[in-house]
Amino acid sequence: MRRTVLGFLVLVLLSMGFGPTPASAQEGVTIVADISFAFMVDNTMLPAGKYEFTQSYDQPWEWTVNDAKGAVKVIFSTEPAEMMRPPRSYEATFDLVDGKYFLTNLWLGGDEDGYYIAMSRSEKALMKKGMRPKEERVPAKKK
């Protein structure tokens, strides 16, 4: 009897995935932003325009960028990020370095957890030259 109860508990824990992960409540989120400047994501330059940033259902740290027509422009990976004072609304943050914008974070409104995009080769090269980034925030909304 004791073995059966233990086996059942193990089965329940396995089916639950050992508890929630920070992104589990946010899998599949789509954020829409109207970006007024050209920017880089993962070594790909995108022109100014309206974009959708969509989180993968099965890989919560993987995102895609779609243009206004729905065409996939970039697929990129992120890492978990945390903000002490989370933004009240959704937003995308960018580093402005030497006149070029680089996507750095995606924040989900009211949540201290977000997503960090690693520096591209281009941004790293500018930083090695001693240039310092200025942060730009672009409001977004959940689709």
Per-position pLDDT tens, the chain of length 143: 544 444 444 444 444 444 444 444 445 899 999 999 999 998 899 999 999 999 998 888 999 999 999 999 999 999 988 877 767 789 999 999 999 999 999 998 877 788 999 999 999 999 889 888 999 999 999 98
* pLDDT for res 58: 87
Q: What is the pLDDT of residue 27?
A: 54
Cα 105–chain centre separation? 6
Instruction: Confirm whether 86 is domain-assigned.
Output: yes
Total number of domains constituting the chain = 1
Residue 11 inside a domain? The answer is no
Does any domain span residue 3?
no
Q: Which domain holds residue 44?
A: 22-142
The token pair at 18 is 């050992």
Closest CA to 46 of 80, 71, 28, 82: 71
pLDDT of residue 60: 86
Considering the domain boundaries, does residue 14 fall inside one? no
Q: Is residue 129 part of a domain?
A: yes
101 Cβ contact partners less than 8 Å away, ≥ 6 residues apart: 37, 38, 39, 40, 94, 95, 136
Is residue 81 domain-resident?
Answer: yes
> Which pLDDT value is given to residue 142?
92
Tell me what pLDDT residue 63 has.
96
Question: 10 in a domain, yes or no?
Answer: no
